[in-house]
Structure 1
């Protein structure tokens, strides 16, 4: 680990991956909630 620039890039990539996963998870859960709400309305 002699080059600090390489470490910065590695950290930025990790942050980008975690951020993308967080956004994807949020979108996925919101879509699932919408589907669940539609099913509940159909039952009534």
Structure 2
């Protein structure tokens, strides 16, 4: 299967975009988890 240079560049860009988003998710996940627990059990006044 022959891939042209343009297609290869497009694929590389897509892969990098996905990798960046995965890194972002890994980074945000703990915050989402913390927020969810606080939301479920709001601190009693």
**TM-score normalised by the chain length of structure 1:** 0.63
Higher relative contact order (CA 8 A, sep 6+): 1
C-alpha displacement of 1:2: 4.2
**The structure with more helix, counted as a fraction of residues:** 1
Paired positions, count = 34
Aligned position for 1:16: 17
2:6 is matched with which residue?
A: 5
Structure 1's consecutive aligned runs of 4 or more residues displaced over 2 angstroms after TM superposition are: none
The alpha-carbon distance between structure 1 residues 28 and 2, as it changes in their structure 2 partners (threshold 3 A), is closer
Please give the root-mean-square deviation of Cα atoms over the aligned residues, in Å.
1.8
